[in-house]
Homo-oligomer: A and B are copies of this chain.
Amino acid sequence: MAETKYDVVGIGNAIVDVIARAEDDFLVAEDLVKGSMNLIDETRAETLYGTMGAATEMSGGSGANTIAGVASFGGRGAFFGKVAEDGLGRTFAHDIRALDVHFETPMLTAGPSTARCLVLVTPDGERTMNTFLGACQMLGPDDVDEDVVAASSILYMEGYLWDPPQAKKAFVHAAKIANANGREVALTLSDSFCVDRYRDEFLDLIKSGTVTLLFANESELHSLYETADTETALAQLEQDCRTAVVTRSEKGAVVLTAGERVHVPAAPVDKIVDLTGAGDLFAAGFLFGRARGMDPEVCAKLGALAAAEVISHVGARPQVSLQALAGQNGFSL
C-alpha cells in the first residue's frame, strides 16, 4: 500500500455551534425533545436564537470535531466540508486550520450561509441540538480531493451527511476511492433518528463491505436493527460488519472485531458539564490509534479518554492537548 500523508480524512457537515445553557422548561416551551438533533430552517434558527440565552460560538460539526480530536492526539488530519464565505465560515476555517488540519474545500460565495447548530445544554449536561444546514447542502462529489482520500489511512464519514442529498454523493464517491486504494472506510451512525431516516442505506453500506469500521452508540444500534435488546443487535452487527465500536455512555464501549468482543470501561470524569461531542471524540481516539496500528483495546481506551475530556467542559472540541493527556495517563503514542 502506498505511503500515507494523513491518518484520517473526514467528510462532514461544517457547522459552527452556538451553545447556551437552558432549563428543561425551555425545551418543553420550545417543543424540543431532550437529547435530539433537529434539522431547522433559517427562519426557525432566527426565532429560536431570539428566545435562547446568552451563547458561546465555537466550531463544531460531528465529523470536524472528530478530526480536531485526531489532530489533538498528534495525528495528521484532513477534512472536507462546505462553509459560506461569511463570518461563521471564516471562523470554521480558521479553527480547523489552526490545528494543522488540511482544509481546502472551496467556500460558497453565493447561496445559503454557513451552517449553525443551536445547542441547548440542560443542567444535567445533556445537549439538544437544532441544526440549520445552510451551506452544507452544497457539498458535492467535486469537493472530494481524490489525492487526499487516496493518501489517508482512514476515510471517516458521519451519517448526518445523508441529510443534504449532494453530500451523500460526495460520501459515496470518496468511499469508492478509499476502497480502491485499500484504505479503511469508517462511518458513524450519528443519531438514532438519522438511522431511522436512512436505515436501509446504512445497512447496505455495511453489508456490502463499503464501510468496514462502524461507530454507533446503543440507541443508534437499537434503531439500526429495530430492536430494544442490545445483545440481539450486537449479534447481528457481528455478522454484518468487519469491525464495529459500540459506545455505551458510562458503561464504556465494546469493540466487535474478528469474532471477538473487547470491553473497555468509560474513563473517569469529575463532573459532566456538557455531553456535546462525546461520541465524536471517542471516535477521534479510536481512529487515531487505529491509523497508527494500535490494537482495538488501546484504540478504545484512547477514545474513552478523549470522550471524558470533552464532556468535562462546554463545547465539543478538546480544550487540552489530547497527546499530552494520553501521555499523563500512561499511553505512549
Contacts and interface: CB of A to CB of B under 8 A. Distances in A.
Interface of A: 20-21, 49-50, 52-59, 68, 86-88, 91, 94-96, 98-99, 313-315, 317, 319
Most B C-beta atoms less than 10 A away, residue of A56, A68, A91: A56
Q: How many copies does the complex hold?
A: 2
Contacts of A94: 49-50, 54-55
Contacts of A87: 86-88
B319 A91 contact: no
A91 B58 CA distance: 13
Nearest to A91: B57
B54 A99 contact: yes
Nearest to A20: B98
A98 B52 contact: yes
A180 to B, nearest CB: 33
A57 B91 CA distance: 9
18 contacts: A49-B94, A50-B94, A52-B98, A53-B98, A54-B96, A54-B99, A54-B317, A55-B91, A55-B98, A56-B56, A56-B57, A56-B315, A57-B57, A57-B91, A87-B88, A313-B313, A313-B314, A314-B319
A21 B56 contact: no
A132 B280 CA distance: 35
A55 B95 contact: yes
A54 to B, nearest CB: 4
Nearest to A72: B54
Nearest to A320: B21
Contacts of A52: 98
A317 B95 CA distance: 22
Contacts of A315: 56
Contacts of A95: 54-55
Contacts of A50: 94
B56 A58 contact: yes
A222 B58 CA distance: 38
Contact of A21 (B49, B55, B96, B319): B319
Given A87-B87, A314-B319, A319-B21, A57 B54 contact: no
A86 B21 CA distance: 24
Contacts of A99: 53-54
A122 to B, nearest CB: 14
A96 B52 CA distance: 12
A293 B310 CA distance: 43
A65 B13 CA distance: 33
A160 to B, nearest CB: 21
Given A21-B319, A54-B59, A313-B314, 5 more contacts: A52-B98, A54-B68, A55-B58, A55-B91, A56-B58
